[in-house]
Amino acid sequence: MQSKVYLALIITLSSLTILTSPPVMRPLLQQAPTPTPTPVTPTITPTPTMTPDPFANVPTATPRTDSIIIEVNALPSPALGDLPPTYTPTPLATSPSSSPAVLLPDPSLTDYPVEAFPAPTPATLPPDHLRIPRLALDVPVVPVGMVPVPGPGAFISPAMPNEYAAGWLNTSASFGQTGNMVLTGRHQLKKMTVLHGLWTLEPGDEIDLYAGEHMQGYRVAEVEIVPEQDQPTEVRLANTEFIRPTEDERLTLVTGWPEKSNSHRTIVIAFPEE
């Protein structure tokens, strides 16, 4: 029994001796050193040197704004002893500027003088008097030109006369001339406007037109009322078909409608009596 105790005691002392030995304990007590990062020195990239552009200060040609374009052709080389050839530039045809589109006249527009957008008067006589028996109408006729239409777009319209008279569009056919003769006038106030009630005419009604001592009678063939105000541009341009030149002789009268508004246009087409 005592031998077992002594044996256990010897084993215990031997274990303590081994555990407390410096070569054994030193690695356990020392901590692993932390690695120190190696600093990296940045490489400086040199700034590139700008190479001057040899064409930077070369002047450029300024385009000409002349309306005539010159076409230059190569000249033949003169023979020995001949005079050098001469060249005359030939201007190329330039496209003409577009004309403003024409709309039907608006009775509500401010009066414009006859001189606004003047046009050459045809060689024949201009009309100077209008009679419509059904309307008890007997009024003078004065020439009128084209005036600009307010608002966006390039539009013009036959003007309204500045007085109690019907207006003859001086770009249309004149008295006795083949083509479409166009008369305009106001309509809103009875006994104060020349074409009030024009929409009441019927096919077959008589219209008499005078130029000095000459008189030409017409008979109404069509009475049209077309929407105009606040309509798309396509509709308003299509309406002007009534006042465009024609190959036959006719009289076209244009005013507004209804009696107290200008939302529509009254178009009366008449042809000469046989």
| CATH code assigned at 120 | 2.40.260.10
pLDDT of residue 240: 93
Name the residue with tokens 């374009």. Answer: 69
Contacts of 51 (CB under 8 A, 6+ apart): none
pLDDT of residue 12: 75
State the chain's maximal CA–CA distance in angstroms.
172
Per-residue pLDDT band for 6 (boundaries 50, 70, 90) equals confident
> Which of 222, 211, 225 lies closest to 270 in space, CA to CA?
222
pLDDT > 70 fraction of the chain, expressed in percent and rounded = 60
Query: φ and ψ at 195, to 5 degrees?
Result: -115, 25
- In this predicted structure, which of 18-22, 65-69, 166-170 has the lowest mean pLDDT? 65-69
pLDDT of residue 93: 40
Whether 34 is in a domain gets the answer no
Contacts of 198 (CB under 8 A, 6+ apart): 135, 185, 187, 253, 255, 266, 268
Whether 141 is in a domain gets the answer yes
131-173: per-residue pLDDT in tens?
999 999 999 999 998 888 887 778 998 888 877 899 999 999 9
Whether 2 is in a domain gets the answer no
Number of domains in the chain: 1
Better pLDDT: 212 or 7: 212
pLDDT of residue 97: 47
Per-residue pLDDT band for 23 (boundaries 50, 70, 90) equals low
Better pLDDT: 127 or 73: 127
Whether 71 is in a domain gets the answer no
Whether 176 is in a domain gets the answer yes
Whether 132 is in a domain gets the answer yes
pLDDT at 92 over 50: no
Q: Is 144 helix (H, G, I), strand (E, B) or coil?
A: strand
pLDDT of residue 91: 45
Distance CA 137, CA 192 (A): 11
Q: What is the pTM of this model?
A: 0.61
25-38: per-residue pLDDT in tens?
555 555 555 556 66
Q: Domain span at residue 233?
A: 101-272
pLDDT of residue 130: 97
Whether 210 is in a domain gets the answer yes
Mean of the per-residue pLDDT values of the chain = 77
Q: Is 268 helix (H, G, I), strand (E, B) or coil?
A: strand
Whether 172 is in a domain gets the answer yes
pLDDT > 90 fraction of the chain, expressed in percent and rounded = 37
Better pLDDT: 7 or 249: 249
Per-residue pLDDT band for 50 (boundaries 50, 70, 90) equals low
CA angle (268 as vertex; 138, 162 as ends), nearest 5? 50
